[in-house]
Amino acid sequence: MPSHLNIHTTYSVRCVIPYITNSQHLRFTVNVNKVITGDTAMAKAYLGAKKRRSYKTWLIPDIVEENISNDDSGDNISKSDRNCPDAHGNFSTDEENEVVSDADGNFSDADEGFSADDEGDVFSTADENFPQTHIVRNHSAVCEGSTEEREECASEEKIYPNAKITNDESLLCILAYSLRHTTSKVALSDLLDLINLHCPDSTNGVPDSLYKFMKSFHCDTFEVQYICPSCQHFFGSEIPTHCASCNGTPGDMENLIKSGSVFIKLSISDQLRGKFQDTDFCQSLNYKWSRTKRNSQNVEDIFDGTMYKSIDALNDPKLLNISVSWNVDGVPIFKSSPFHIWPLQVTINELPPNLRAKHVILGGLWFGPKKPEMNSFLQSFVDELRSLENQGLPCQWKGEKTVVHVYSLLCICDSVARCAVQNVKQFNGEHGCNWCYQKGEVVEKGNGFTRVYPLQSTGPELRSHRKHTEDAQQAVGSGTCINGVKGPSPLMLLMFFNMVSGFAYDYMHGILLGVCRQLTTLWFDSKYHTEPWYIGRENEQIERRLLAIKPPTSITRPPRSISLRKYWKASEYRHFLLFYSLPCLFGILPRQYLDHLQLLVQATYIVLQDSISPHDTDKADGLLKAFVGRFESQYGKCHVSYNVHILVHAAASVKNWGPLWSHSAFLYESQNGHLQKLFHGTQAVAEQIVNMFNLYQHVSRLIAAVFNDEQTRQSKSFVEKMLGGTNIVTKCIGSSSVMFLGCPHVRQPTPRESHILQESGFSANKAFSFYSRAVVNGKRIHSKGAKSLSKRINHAVQTKHGSIALVRSFIDVGNAQGEGHAFIDVMKTTSNDISKDRESGITAKSILKERGIDSVELIKCTDIHSTCVYLKDLPGLANNFFCIQPNRWELD
């Protein structure tokens, strides 16, 4: 990097241009019409000329300062007192540091929504109207003062006299609209012009330019990290003259950017600090201590796993410490290009399950045509996590200054990314399993060969953190893979991260997009038409049943045709496996294969329950091992794939980390879908995504500060609609956990209803308000008489006591507590042949046969636990069935 750069330009601009080095932070001001001699082309790139730039040149800093420090002190991984390699590949193998000794395809479930609007980037700073502030480490370089100080000086004036909203409300509403609809900078500029046309002149507080509008928001920033293009050695935010690893010359900044040897690093500390300013967020962190467990001996969330319990720093209620899980995965962003983004997403385990997706933190972003070199990509991430582990994060908690320590526990990703992060051989190589030492066998399959993992009678030896560390040490010394381990990983430097069990089993990729998709291919792909399990000729009959199913509204996607299965998302495979497969295939798939499938259905249901007992975990472990053991005899050795093999490690993940829903990739895949939509065109894609993500984070923090009284209710409702994308209930009545929807039907109760009301202690000598719809604990439920649904059955429910019922109607009894009630038909149910494995005699309890109405009862609406999938009048089946949803946390 040159120590001095003279620039000649006649641009009429004045902007603050920040730049950061490892040792200092410098700021520069370019005055209006000031002429500086030098490179005109570089000046255009730095100062934002109108000419469209290469998709990577936005990474070049806006100016180069004199006498740049070239300190490489932070480039290398320092040696830890834990089992990790030093600079020479040597290890400390103190067995006392080991936390635990054992534990447990590459597809996205997000919608493939792409935008290719060449009209302009989403709030792109490539435009001349934007201040160039995108390569900054020091938060104060862009955000002048704390959030509280900015809020104090925020404008509370109306946008014009007698207007409904203030300037701040107006700005937030416009920004929320732009985020919701991913408007380009041109569209946003036109929107501002349109709004100004409707407002009075001179007194209008709405910004009259896009520059002024964006200047109103002070967002978190990011920095660019560089790696060696030859050996992938991590440089950090500065480029050395020679690489310390290969002694090569990496070239200048522009060459590294063009070669794709860069990635973006975002500050986890800054994002956490902003979240701790949110009172609701702080209160939510008490969930671990305030929740009510159904059974004290069961695992019901990540906190109940043996790995989490083994960490004293996370199990002392006097300490304000938190833990994080994280994910890294490749996401395609163009249909006709190999370019992917690799976001590094972080979630906070101590939040309630329904809030973890709301508070996702973006730790980094790789963008390019090739996969990232994981050790380099993770190094700056690990460096910051180590600081948060040891020094902690100073923040405000309940009005007092405190220090929060943050610990990384879990990496959740698919098999391809997991191998790269763990720095081991991929699953198709020898010793490719991440949790045991089974080598696998190479057998013929079709016209080629494949590696398979048949179940071994004695079971392979399980991996442990200590042994993995020893294998990595030997791999460094020998230059070859040892037991599948290629070498060390920066993750070994983390205080409580276990290099084996720290990689949790992900059922989304392992069971749904792995085994379940493999089974549907075997059953329906015509290349297996000579095999005894092939049922492709019966597609028409299967589809008649499948498409006749009317799921509840909690399942977003109705069943799709078998012929469209290549487009199924992971959630669709989940519903097919748990609810649709056994009834739809009954009498069509040969019985021995149906019995085999039942083992997987029952085991998957068990490990996804709200509350899992030790007995249930052992039962699921036995079912999964039986499924894997019989797979070879049913479908042949060549089909005992890696995904089939790792089923034997799923139960261990439940013991270590809780139910599989608590550490699945569904949350991250959903966020990947959002990230895909945060850009327009093909220029500066990574920058657009990061800037938009930061705007989302920032606007969420400002909502509580701006919308703080009843006068702001209308604009707050609009912003929440834009950011949440949910429907607004316009006519509702009820308590916070129960809302009746629509207009009531006021009438006298029937004689039967009067009798039930009197038995329940209510007077029946008056008219009551009856409703056909209600929202109970966030779930919409309809009664049997509701007319608004034609392709859904939304009145089948399971109560907290385990009964299956059909909702007849909702009633407002008008008691002082304001509790909503419902009349229900309690159903008789029994087990059935469809869900029974004849060989073991085990029957799946998640699928029940309907046997008629047992009784009519009045219950509190809050006693409804969840909706059920009611399989009614399916062609070719003599009975109706209820399928119980395993938990209330997973959303479609």
Q: Report DSSP letters for 181-233, one per residue.
A: TT--HHHHHHHHHHHHHTS-TTT--S-SSHHHHHHT-----EEEEEE-TTT--
Query: Is it the case that residue 65 has pLDDT exceeding 60?
Result: no
Query: Is it the case that residue 71 has pLDDT exceeding 80?
Result: no
Find where tokens 């030859």 sit: 230
Condensed to tens digits (0 to 9), the pLDDT of residues 801-855 reads 999 999 999 999 887 566 789 999 999 999 877 777 777 777 778 899 999 999 9
Counting every residue written for the chain, the total comes to: 892
Please tell me which residue, 52 or 189, carries the higher pLDDT value: 189
Query: Is it the case that residue 599 has pLDDT exceeding 90?
Result: yes
Rounded CA separation 348/325 (Å):
7
391 burial via Cβ count (<10 Å: 0-12, 13-18, 19+): exposed
Condensed to tens digits (0 to 9), the pLDDT of residues 145-190 reads 344 434 433 456 788 888 888 888 888 888 888 888 878 888 888 9
Contact 500, 412 (CB under 8 A): no
pLDDT band at 133 (very low <50, low <70, confident <90, very high): very low
Task: State the average pLDDT over residues 417-428.
Answer: 94
Q: Which of 128-132, 225-229, 523-527 has the lowest mean pLDDT?
A: 128-132
Sign of CA dihedral 799, 801, 802, 807: negative
Burial code (b: 16+ CB inside 10 Å, e: under 16) for 416-439 equals bbbbbbbbbbebeeebbbbbbebe
Q: Reduce the DSSP state of residue 245 to 3 states and report it.
A: coil
Task: State the average pLDDT over residues 869-889.
Answer: 94
pLDDT band at 735 (very low <50, low <70, confident <90, very high): low
Q: Reduce the DSSP state of residue 829 to 3 states and report it.
A: strand
Residue 874: count of CB within 10 angstroms of its CB: 20
Condensed to tens digits (0 to 9), the pLDDT of residues 334-368 reads 777 777 888 899 999 999 999 999 899 988 888 87
Please tell me which residue, 101 or 718, carries the higher pLDDT value: 718
3-state helix, strand, coil in the chain (%, to 5): 35, 20, 45
Condensed to tens digits (0 to 9), the pLDDT of residues 1-27 reads 443 333 333 333 333 333 333 333 333
pLDDT given for residue 148 in this prediction: 43
Residue 833: count of CB within 10 angstroms of its CB: 12
Query: Is it the case that residue 35 has pLDDT exceeding 90?
Result: no
Query: Is it the case that residue 229 has pLDDT exceeding 60?
Result: yes
Query: Is it the case that residue 132 has pLDDT exceeding 50?
Result: no
Rounded CA separation 829/837 (Å):
19
Q: Which of 101-110, 362-371, 711-720 has the lowest mean pLDDT?
A: 101-110
Query: Is it the case that residue 122 has pLDDT exceeding 60?
Result: no
Condensed to tens digits (0 to 9), the pLDDT of residues 554-578 reads 999 999 999 999 999 999 999 999 9
Task: State the average pLDDT over residues 728-750.
Answer: 76
76 burial via Cβ count (<10 Å: 0-12, 13-18, 19+): middle
Please tell me which residue, 460 or 126, carries the higher pLDDT value: 460
Interaxial angle between packed helices 614-635 and 650-657, expressed in degrees from 0 to 180 and rounded to the nearest 10: 160
pLDDT band at 713 (very low <50, low <70, confident <90, very high): confident
For the chain, list the domains and their CATH numbers: 507-662 (no CATH), 732-884 (2.30.30)
Nearest to 607 by CA among 644, 660, 570: 660
Query: Residue 580 gets which letter from DSSP?
Result: I
Rounded CA separation 600/609 (Å):
14
Condensed to tens digits (0 to 9), the pLDDT of residues 308-341 reads 999 999 999 888 899 999 999 988 877 777 778 8
pLDDT band at 437 (very low <50, low <70, confident <90, very high): very high
* DSSP alpha helix (H) spans, 636-706: 642-645, 650-657, 666-676, 685-706
Condensed to tens digits (0 to 9), the pLDDT of residues 608-618 reads 999 999 999 99
pLDDT band at 777 (very low <50, low <70, confident <90, very high): confident
pLDDT given for residue 139 in this prediction: 33
Condensed to tens digits (0 to 9), the pLDDT of residues 466-494 reads 999 999 999 999 999 999 999 999 999 99
Strands 400-411 and 321-328: parallel
Interaxial angle between packed helices 685-706 and 713-724, expressed in degrees from 0 to 180 and rounded to the nearest 10: 150
Which range, 10-24, 293-307, 356-370, 715-729, is most confident? 293-307
How does the average pLDDT of the chain come out, rounded? 79
Contact 853, 826 (CB under 8 A): yes
pLDDT given for residue 708 in this prediction: 66
Please tell me which residue, 85 or 580, carries the higher pLDDT value: 580
pLDDT given for residue 710 in this prediction: 62
pLDDT band at 67 (very low <50, low <70, confident <90, very high): very low
Nearest to 662 by CA among 380, 217, 354: 354
* Two structure tokens written together for 776: 């109970």
Per DSSP, what are the bridge partners of residue 445?
448
Find where tokens 């796993």 sit: 305
Rounded CA separation 254/277 (Å):
38
Phi, psi of 404 (to 5 degrees): -105, 125
C-alpha dist (Å) from residue 330 to 372, 414, 542 = 9, 10, 35
Which amino acid, 587? G
Which range, 33-42, 74-83, 770-779, is most confident? 770-779
pLDDT given for residue 202 in this prediction: 66
pLDDT given for residue 125 in this prediction: 36
* DSSP alpha helix (H) spans, 529-665: 539-548, 570-575, 581-585, 591-607, 614-635, 642-645, 650-657
Task: State the average pLDDT over residues 198-212.
Answer: 78
Q: Name residues whose C-beta falls within 8 Å of residue 438's C-beta, 6 or more positions apart in sequence.
A: 431, 453, 456, 460, 645
Condensed to tens digits (0 to 9), the pLDDT of residues 672-707 reads 777 777 666 666 676 777 777 777 776 766 776 777
pLDDT given for residue 733 in this prediction: 60
